[in-house]
Structure 1
C-alpha cells in the first residue's frame, strides 16, 4: 500500500466541518499520513503564553482536510482506521481558558463569579519512556504520565449544506474529544454529502475522561489513517470499533441526552449484530454497557456507550471490515 503524506500550510487549515473546499481527493483504500497542528495553533509554547493574549476561539482546533473520498455518496458509511498517532512535537500544552471549561462560569452556565485564572501548563514529552511530564504551577511537584495519543476531532461535512465550528461535536462526528479515538480504532461515520469531506485534528498526547478543564495535553500530531468506504448502511451517529469493544457516541446537551443518543444507538447496533429483538438488546445492553464520558466542555457534551466483545458471541460489523483493516495496518508496520 502506498502512503500519501500531507502537511497543510497554515492558510490551508480548516476551522469548520462543511463549507470548505477539499484539500485533496482520495480513493477508498488510501493510506494517509497527515500532520495536524495542536488545538491552539501552536501559539502556547511556554507557561508565560496565556490564552487570553494568544488564543482566538474562532480559530481553534485547526483541521487537516477536508478530503473528498471518491465514490462516497449520502447514505454511505465512511470508514477510518487509526493505524498510528505519533506526537509531532516534543511538548504539549494545556490551559485554563477564561469562561471555558467544566468547572468555571461559561457563556451557557452563567454565574456572577469571575472566571478561573488564565493559566498555561507545558508538558515535556519523553519519547524513550513514552511519557508526558506534568509540572505543577504552584509547587515543585512533577509527575510523569503515560503517553496515550488520541484525536479530538474526526468528522465529515454535515447534512443540509451546514458548516459547523470545529469546536462542535454532533451527528457528523467533529470535536467528540473521546480517548477511545486512539490507534487501533475503526471509526464509522455516515456520509452526508458527495465525497464525505472528512477532516481530522486536535491531537491530544493524553486526556482524562471528561476533559474537565476544557483542554487536554494538546499537541501537533502525525496520524496514519486508512480510508475506506462501505456503500450504504450509514449510521445515524458515530460508531467506533476496536479489538475489544463496540462503541457509539452521542453529543448533545444536557449530558443525559448524549447518553440517551449513544445508548439507543448501541441497543440498535447490538440488535442488528446479533439479530435480537430491540427489547432484548435493550435488556442485554443494560447489563453490560460501560459509559465513559468523553467531554463536558464543548458546545455539545459527548458520551460513549460501549459493550465488551468478550461478553458477546462473535459478530462482524460492516462485513468484518475492522479485522481486514487491522491486517492492512499490520502489513504497513512490517514493510
Structure 2
C-alpha cells in the first residue's frame, strides 16, 4: 500500500504534503526562507517526507525505472513529480536529502527552544533502500568492492509490515530480516543569515542528526536561531543501527506527525540549562549530544553537554556528575558518515526518580 499525497491516514488536522513547492532538496532552510506553513505553538502537523533513494542522479533520477529494476512497480507520485521537476539542486554542491518545510511557529524568537515531538511515523511504501557509495561511509576506499560506484540494496517489508527482509546474497540460502523502527533522520530549525546549509552535516540547528531514538514519543529540543524557528523534517528511515556505517540506513518515505511546542528562554534555561545544541528526551532517557568532524571530540562535547545538563537540571556538581556518567550512562555513536560525526548519551530518568512521559515537558 502506498500513502500517496492526501491518501490514507492523516492524523493531524493540519497536513503538509511533500510537493515540489513544499520541499528543499540538498539544502536546509535559513532565515531568508519563507515558511510554507505557519502554526501556533502546540500544533500537531502531519508531514509527508520523501526518501532521496531512487531519485538521485547516480540512480538515474527516475524512481519508476530504478524500482522497476528491483521488481517494484508501486512508486510514490510525489517522488516521481520531484525527480521529473526542475527543482534547483546542484548534485555537485548540494546534499542528497529532501526536506519538507520550513514551518514557522508563531512567537518563536532567537533564544527560545523549540520542542519537536515525533507523535507518529507511518511507512508510505512497503520497501526501503540501503546504499553504499564510493568514497563514503565508514570504509571509504574499501567499500563498495570491485570498483563499483554505488551499491543499493532494496529490502521489502514482510506480511506483518513490522520487519524488513533483505534480498538473499548470491549463493546464500539464508534470509536476513530485522525489525522496523521508523524515525526522521533530519529534524531541525533554520540557521541565521541568508545562506542555506548543506543537508549532510548536522549542527546546533539539528539537521541530519541520524539519532535513531527519535521514534514516536521522542522529543527533540533545539535552540531557536531565527524568528518563527522555521522547522523542517526529512531523511526518513525505516530502521538504522547506531553508526549508520554503510552511508545510509534503511531509507524510505514516511508520513510523520509532529507536535511543535515552544519553550520561552527562561523556562528552557531553568529546565535544561543554557542549551547550545540538540537534546533529545524519550520516555526513558535524557539524551544530550556531541557533534564534531572528529569522533573523539564529538564524544568529549557530548560528555560536556551531559555534565551541563546534570548540573542545570539536577544540581549535580561536575565531579559527581562525571562519576555518574562513567558508571551508569551509555555513550553511543549516532553516525560516522555525515562529515560531522555524532555521539549521544542516554541518561536514565529513573535514576533521578523523574517520571517518564512522552510529552514536550523538558
Q: TM-score range by the shorter chain?
A: 0.7 to 0.9
Does the aligned pair in 2 maintain the 1:47–1:119 contact within 8 Å?
Answer: no
User: Which of 35, 54, 60 is equivalent to 1:22?
Assistant: 35
Aligned to 2:4: none
**TM value normalised by structure 1:** 0.85
Aligned to 2:216: 183
Alignment of 1:273-288 (within 5 A): 273-288=313-328
Aligned to 2:311: 271
* Rounded Cα–Cα distance in structure 2 between residues aligned with 1:77 and 1:41: 35
Does the aligned pair in 1 maintain the 2:27–2:97 contact within 8 Å?
Answer: no
Question: What is the SS of the residue equivalent to 1:135?
Answer: coil
Does the aligned pair in 2 maintain the 1:3–1:30 contact within 8 Å?
Answer: no
Question: What is the SS of the residue equivalent to 2:239?
Answer: coil
Does the aligned pair in 2 maintain the 1:121–1:137 contact within 8 Å?
Answer: no
Question: What is the SS of the residue equivalent to 2:130?
Answer: strand
Alignment of 1:237-276 (within 5 A): 237-276=277-316
Aligned Cα root-mean-square deviation (Å): 2.6
Alignment of 1:194-205 (within 5 A): 194-205=227-238
User: Which of 14, 17, 27 is equivalent to 1:7?
Assistant: 17
User: Which of 249, 260, 264 is equivalent to 1:227?
Assistant: 260
Aligned to 2:67: 45
Counting matched residue pairs gives 312
User: Which of 99, 102, 114 is equivalent to 1:78?
Assistant: 114
Residue 181 (structure 1) shift: 1.3
* Rounded Cα–Cα distance in structure 1 between residues aligned with 2:185 and 2:147: 25
Residue 310 (structure 1) shift: 2.1
Structure 2 unaligned runs (5+)? 1-10, 56-62, 72-82, 84-89, 269-273
Cα 1:210/1:166, change in 2 over 3 Å? same
Does the aligned pair in 1 maintain the 2:117–2:359 contact within 8 Å?
Answer: no
Does the aligned pair in 1 maintain the 2:46–2:255 contact within 8 Å?
Answer: yes
Does the aligned pair in 2 maintain the 1:83–1:226 contact within 8 Å?
Answer: yes
User: Which of 163, 166, 173 is equivalent to 1:131?
Assistant: 163
Question: What is the SS of the residue equivalent to 1:170?
Answer: coil
Cα 1:47/1:139, change in 2 over 3 Å? farther
* Rounded Cα–Cα distance in structure 2 between residues aligned with 1:115 and 1:236: 42
Residue 117 (structure 1) shift: 5.2
Aligned to 1:33: 46
Aligned to 1:103: 139
Aligned to 1:309: 349
Aligned to 1:69: 105
* Rounded Cα–Cα distance in structure 2 between residues aligned with 1:119 and 1:180: 27
Cα 1:243/1:211, change in 2 over 3 Å? same
Residue 163 (structure 1) shift: 2.0
Determine if the alignment matches structure 1 residue 155 to structure 2 residue 188.
yes
Residue 17 (structure 1) shift: 2.2
Cα 1:94/1:281, change in 2 over 3 Å? same
